[in-house]
Structure 1
C-alpha cells in the first residue's frame, strides 16, 4: 500500500511540475486545451514507448530544462531578455559551476549509487563470484535506450564492460565453474541507415559478443544473445532463458556501468535473483571515499564533469521512471538510506 501511495504522489508531483513548466514557457492565451492535450499525449507516449526515436526526441526537448546544461541555457535566455533579471544569469553561472567541478560530479555519482545499492551487494568487501551461474552483460543501448543507433560507437563505449566480463569469466573458470555468458542488446534499431548500410537488429549484440569471445577464447556459439530494449525487459528475457536451462540457478553477475548498477540490481532482485553487481571501476567510485583528500585539480571545472553530472541526473530520472512503472522498489537496506 505504501508503494502504491508513493507512486500516486509521484505521478501527481510530476504532472504539477510539467504543468508549471508549460505555464512558464508558453503564454496562457496560447496554452489551449488542445495544445495541452497534445503535449500530454506526447508525455504519455514517451512514458510507455521510451525507445521510440520520434517520441524520445520530443521528450528530450521537453525535459531539457530539467538537466544542468538545459537549465543553464534557459536561465541565460530569460536573463538576457530582461535586463534587470541579473539574478537569472547568476543562477545559470552557479548551476554551470556546480555541474562542472570534478569533485562535485564524483560526489553526485557516489551519492546516487550508495543511496540505491543494497548493503548485501557491497562490492567493497572480498565478496567472491565463484558460485555464480551466469554472467549478464548489458550493452549501453539497453541501459540507456535513448541512445542513437550507432553500433561502432556503442561497442566502443561498452568495451570496458566487455573487459570486466572477461575478468569475471576467468575468475569463475579458475574456481572450477562453467558459467553461462549472456549478452543483452537492443532488439530493434531506430529506423534509419548508418552510412550506406541498413541497420541490422542483431548487429549491436553480435559485435559485443564477438569482441568478448576474442578476449576469452570462446566460440561465438557459447555466448547466449538476448534482446532487450530496457533493463526490465532484459531481466524478463534472462529469467525465461535460465528457466529453460535446468542446469543453471538464479545467482548471476551483472555487468553494466557504475551509475546503472543500482537500477540493474533492483530490477533483477524484483524477480528473486541473487545479484552480484560488477562494473568497470565500481569499487573506486563507491569504496573508501569518506576520508578522501580533495586535490586542486578536482576543483577546476571541465566539460567531462558536466557530462558526468548530466548522466547522474538522467539516471536519477530513470530510477523514478522505473519506480513509477513498478519495475523496481525503493532500497530498504542501502548503504546510505
Structure 2
C-alpha cells in the first residue's frame, strides 16, 4: 500500500514541478552570479550517456531525425555549443568543442560512426571548425567524461588511469582506491549539461581541477512564478511523463550521494 501511494504521488505533475523547481532555480541563480564572458580553451557538452535499451533513453532521447539518429536533446545542446563557440570567436578566442556523449545509436547508416554524425552536425549547423571538434564516445557519466576531457586538454598530466595495488596476506592483489586531485592551474571550460545534473557535473569537473563556467540546458519550466494557486486540474492527474521526471530527480540525488561517497565531488551542495 505504501509503495502504491509513493508511486501515485510521484506520478503527479505537481510533484514533478516541486522536485525540479528548486534544482533549476538554484542553477539559474548560480549561473547569473558567474562571469559569462570568460575566454576558455574548451566548450564541453555532456550527453545522456544512454542507448536504446536503457529506459532513460526512451524517456529523454526521442529521435527527431532518423537520418542522423541524434536525439532532440543532444541536437539542442550541440546548437547551444555552436552559439557559445561563435561568442568565443567574436572575442578572438578559438576553443575546442568537446562532445562527451557516450555510445550513440546511429540509425539507417551502418557505415557512419557517431563521431562523423556529431562532427558534421556541429560543422553544418553549429558553425564550428572541424579541426576544433573532439568527440568522446566512451564516457558514460560525468566522472568518466571529466577524466576524458582532462586527458584531451592535458594529455601528459592525467593520473586518473593509474592505480595503487596492495598485496594481501593471502597473496591476493587488490586495487587501493585513491582520491588524487589534479595538480597545476585550473583549466577553465564552459560546461553544457542538463540543469538537473549541473551541480554533480560541475563539482565532478572541479574535483579534477577544472574551473567551470556552467551552461545549463534542458530546463523543465512548468509552474508559473505566481505559485501553486494557479495550478491546473491536470497537475493533479497522474501521468507517465511526470513519473519519469520525478524518477530522474530522485536518480540524480542518489547519484550525487554515490559520487560524494566515492570522493568524486568538491562541493555536493554548490556549483
For the criterion TM > 0.5, the same-fold answer is: yes
Q: Secondary structure at the match of 2:230?
A: coil
Q: Distance in 2 between matches of 1:225 and 1:196?
A: 18
Q: Secondary structure at the match of 2:242?
A: helix
The equivalent residue for 2:259 is 322
CA contact (8 A) 2:34 2:213 kept: no
Give 1:258's aligned residue.
195
Paired residue for 2:150, among 231, 236, 239? Answer: 239
Q: Which has the higher strand share?
A: 2
Match of 2:133 in 1: 223
Higher share of residues assigned helix: 1
Shift of 1:264: 0.9
Q: Which of 73, 84, 103 is the equivalent residue of 2:14?
A: 103
Per mean C-alpha deviation after superposition, the further-off stretch among 296-305 and 277-286 is 277-286
In the TM superposition, what is the alpha-carbon distance from 1:163 to its structure 2 partner?
A: 2.1
* 1:240–1:93 distance in 2 versus 1, CA, 3 Å: closer
CA contact (8 A) 2:260 2:268 kept: no
1:267-286 matches, within 5 Å, as 267-282=204-219
Q: 1:196 to 1:250 in 2, by over 3 A?
A: closer
CA offsets 1:290-315 (integer angstroms, 9 cap, x no match): 95763314334322111111111222
Q: Does 1:311 align with 2:265?
A: no
CA separation of 1:135/1:284 partners in 2, compared to 1, >3 Å: closer, same or farther? farther
Q: Is the 8 A contact 1:256 1:279 kept in 2?
A: yes
Q: Would the alpha carbon gap of residues 281 and 157 (structure 1) be closer, same or farther in structure 2, given more than 3 Å must change?
A: closer
Aligned residues: 233
Residue 260 of structure 1 aligns to a residue whose secondary structure is helix
For structure 1, list consecutive stretches of 5 or more residues without a partner in the other structure.
1-87
Q: Which residue of 2 is the match for residue 186 of structure 1?
A: 102
Instruction: Assess, with a 3 A threshold, how the Cα gap between structure 1 residues 174 and 304 changes in structure 2: closer, same or farther.
Output: same
Residue 210 to residue 124, structure 1, CA distance change in 2 (3 Å): same
In structure 2, the gaps of 5 or more residues are 157-184
In structure 2, do the counterparts of structure 1 residues 304 and 214 end up closer, same or farther at CA, with 3 Å as the change threshold?
same
Root mean square deviation, CA, Å: 4.0
Distance change (3 Å), C-alpha of 1:295 and 1:148: closer
Q: Contact 2:256–2:268 (CA<8 Å) still a contact in 1?
A: no
For the residues of structure 2 that align with 1:285 and 1:229, how far apart are their CA atoms?
Answer: 29
1:43-79 per-residue CA deviation (whole Å, 9 max, x = no partner) reads xxxxxxxxxxxxxxxxxxxxxxxxxxxxxxxxxxxxx
Residue 128, structure 1, aligned to residue 36, structure 2: yes
Whether contact under 8 Å (2:139, 2:145) holds in the other structure is: yes
The yes-or-no answer on 1:172 pairing with 2:80 is no
1:140 aligned onto 2:51: no
Partner SS, residue 224 of structure 1: strand
- The answer on whether the counterparts of 1:161 and 1:279 sit within 8 Å (CA) in structure 2 is no
Deviation at 1:131, TM superposition (A): 2.4
